[in-house]
Amino acid sequence: MSRSSKLFIILFCSISFTVFGQSKKLYTPLEVENALSKGTRSLEGRPGPNYWQNSADYKIRAELNPDSSTLKGHVDITYYNNSPDTLKSIFIRLYQDILKKGSARDWYVGNVELHDGVKITNLKVNGIDVNMDPSHRELFYTSTNMMIKLSENFAPNTSLKIEMNFSFKIPQIIRLRMGNYGDGDYFVAYWYPQIAVYDDIDGWDKQEYTGSVEFYNDFNNYEFEISLPDSFVVWATGELQNEKEVFKENIIKKLDKAKESDKIVQIISPADFAADRVTIKNGTNTWKFIASNVPDISFCLSNNFNWDAASIEVEPGRRVLTSAVYENGTINFDKATEYSRATIEYLSEQLPGYPYPYPQVTTFCNKGRGGGMETPMMANDGAPESLGRYVGLVFHEIAHNYFPFMMGTNERKYAWMDEGWASFFPIELVDKLLDNDESYAGRVKSFENNSGKEAELPPMIVSYSNRGEARTAAYDRPAVAYKELYELLGRDLFKKSLLEYINRWIGKHPIPSDFFYTFDQVTNEDLSWFWKPWFFEFGYPDLAIDSVIKETDGITVNINKIGNMPVRVLLQIEFEDGRIENLQKSARVWKDKDELKIEYKSSEKIKNVKLGDPTIPDINQNNNFYSLK
């Protein structure tokens, strides 16, 4: 062996050992170890050389009867097996089987709207009928999954076609993320038979839809059409293809104006509906949409709602249409388009600073007072009376178009990989719009209320439920962790790391290690000292003033990190004359120690010192104050 070859091997082993050794500071599940060994993932946080993912093309024709609250349709799916595996079965999600009698659910729903399941007929695979008699074992149902046993093996790098008819009743009482909201107003999501994800970590995603778990979908192409009485307007994921067949000319003109306008345009009002100025009267109208490279589709409809819209340029030559669809007089919703537009601008230009990837976003009001639910380019929102909660809600649901829609994270396992970001991103804009920082302080308080309790779960524990304390792991704890990381790295480095993570994994399926390793690489720092306590460990944040020593020329303050989570240090020094001076340090001071000494020089008389503020989590604030009087 030549000297140069030996040198290369030594260098390669040294690099491999350094990266591998660093990775071992974080727990790596066996499924991820297997993916690393197969080369679908890498220890740098990039997709590995053998990374793959499957996809599908959907063509859907559906009819919705508003009077009976029923939907029936036909779906043609072309599914592409890009994996190296030969598949012997296909798993299909039937989300509305959550209300099927006998299905597992995360809470009691009573018996009022339970049914016999989504009705599937004329099921074919590659043009051949599937025998739906249970005794033939070609088909197997669980709570919300339907498994089709294939008559022929499905080889790698090939495709197959699946088609079927389906129908179900849209719920009017148990409106879980979708439903009939009365008076002809619907938001329809989780509605069509959808092929589950087959990935390099778990194979088929067989997790049932029990109510709490949300998204983990492939990136697919959709052509879909919705037929219904001609008095209704439909808004949906993607772009409308036949506006001249359904809208009257005056509506098209206003819509075209909104697509070029920074100012809000009222496209439809209830008076327009009443005066028959909205839709073309064909008896039945068919609304045709196309959405490409998206993980899901949804739609909403009304024959009486307001429609406000405006647009914003997110990159040269490309504008995004922002719409609000709501009942006349709904509190705060007359400003929904304004807040939607501000959200798109912030996400595109500030944090994460990546141009909004889709052509439009529509926020629908479900007439409730509670929270909301996101689907690509669509949001099904309530109308909280508090302006702060409302602005945060609008931003939160739109932010999900980045995580998990643009970034195909597995929210069924790691809800913090999208809910945490959607809770972190609004902080700056919401506090700016409200001219205070009470919104984020409320998030911190919510985290403090559950942090360290027996039932609180670290985010890295698989989140098959978002209920109770599990919500702390999905929303509050990661949002606060991202804020502390932001303060630790500084805006420029934080944003650079986040954009690199996005650029590596846009349109793919990142897992937690991909996020951690990317930030490690971009920052050129082993951040395991931060990742471990915030994402892997049980624990809580708690800083304390241990002692304050008076000196002739000032004071020395000794601070202890009692909890395991590293947070910023803010020391407020109050003088006898009432003046306050703040001393700040990032969480980096806790990288290698649990004690900190701060020396402060001053000839003025100091009255007291206080540790922290409402934006820094600390579960015990009784040890944060020291009086020198």
- The residue extents of the domains of the chain are 543-627
pLDDT (0 to 100) of residue 10:
35
> Which of 176, 169, 170 lies closest to 106 in space, CA to CA?
176
Q: How far apart are CA 409 and CA 218, in angstroms?
A: 10
Burial zone of 598 (CB within 10 Å; 0-12 exposed, 13-18 middle, 19+ buried): middle
Name the most confidently modeled range: 344-353, 449-458, 463-472: 344-353
Model confidence band, residue 471 (pLDDT cutoffs 50, 70, 90)? confident
The answer on pLDDT for 435 being more than 80 is no
pLDDT (0 to 100) of residue 103:
95
Handedness of CA 338, 341, 343, 345 (dihedral sign): negative
Model confidence band, residue 581 (pLDDT cutoffs 50, 70, 90)? very high
Domain 543-627 has CATH 2.70.98: no
Altogether, the residues listed in the chain come to a count of 629
Q: Does residue 418 sit in helix, strand or coil?
A: helix
pLDDT (0 to 100) of residue 17:
35
Report pLDDT digits (tens) over 376-429: 999 999 999 999 899 999 999 999 999 999 999 999 999 999 999 999 999 999
Query: What does the pLDDT average to over 199-221?
Result: 95
pLDDT (0 to 100) of residue 147:
97
Residues 402/506, Cβ–Cβ less than 8 Å = no
Residue 120 belongs to what H/E stretch? strand 119-125
Q: Does residue 421 sit in helix, strand or coil?
A: helix
pLDDT (0 to 100) of residue 561:
98
Model confidence band, residue 24 (pLDDT cutoffs 50, 70, 90)? low
The answer on pLDDT for 358 being more than 50 is yes
pLDDT (0 to 100) of residue 467:
58
More confidently predicted of 608 and 433: 608
The per-residue b/e assignment along 473-504, b for 16 or more CB within 10 angstroms, e otherwise, is bbbbbbbbbbbbbbbbbeeebbbbbbebbbeb
Report pLDDT digits (tens) over 548-571: 999 889 999 999 999 999 999 999
Peptide bond into 359 cis (omega under 30): no
The answer on pLDDT for 8 being more than 80 is no
Report pLDDT digits (tens) over 105-118: 998 999 989 999 99
The answer on pLDDT for 77 being more than 90 is yes
Which tokens hold the place of 358? 């889709």
Query: What does the pLDDT average to over 229-257?
Result: 98
Peptide bond into 384 cis (omega under 30): no
What one-letter code names the amino acid at 215?
Answer: F
Q: How far apart are CA 425 and CA 400, in angstroms?
A: 10
**What backbone phi and psi angles, to 5 degrees, belong to 248?**
-75, 160
> Which of 495, 493, 480, 569 lies closest to 533 in space, CA to CA?
480
The answer on pLDDT for 9 being more than 70 is no
Per mean pLDDT, which range of 16-20, 390-394, 488-492, 512-516 is the poorest?
16-20
Q: How far apart are CA 360 and CA 340, in angstroms?
A: 10
pLDDT (0 to 100) of residue 415:
94
Model confidence band, residue 134 (pLDDT cutoffs 50, 70, 90)? confident
The answer on pLDDT for 436 being more than 90 is no
Per mean pLDDT, which range of 57-71, 76-90, 289-303, 447-461 is the poorest?
447-461
Model confidence band, residue 469 (pLDDT cutoffs 50, 70, 90)? low
The answer on pLDDT for 25 being more than 90 is no
Residues 548/597, Cβ–Cβ less than 8 Å = no
Instruction: Using a pLDDT cut of 70, give the percent of the chain over it.
Output: 95
Model confidence band, residue 13 (pLDDT cutoffs 50, 70, 90)? very low
Query: What does the pLDDT average to over 312-319?
Result: 98
β partners of residue 302: 233
Per mean pLDDT, which range of 37-41, 265-269, 460-464, 543-547 is the poorest?
460-464
- Chain CA centroid to CA 392, Å: 14
Query: What does the pLDDT average to over 328-344?
Result: 97
Question: 428 — alpha (psi -120 to 50), left (phi > 0) or beta?
Answer: alpha
Residue 255 belongs to what H/E stretch? helix 249-258
Instruction: Using a pLDDT cut of 90, give the percent of the chain over it.
Output: 88
Model confidence band, residue 4 (pLDDT cutoffs 50, 70, 90)? very low
The answer on pLDDT for 23 being more than 80 is no
Q: What is the largest CA-CA distance in the chain?
A: 91
What one-letter code names the amino acid at 442?
Answer: G
DSSP per-residue letters across 261-329 = -SS-EEEE-HHHHHTT-SB---SEEEEEEEEEEES---EEEESS-EEEEEEEEEETTEEEEEEEEE-TT
What is the residue-averaged pLDDT of the chain?
Answer: 93
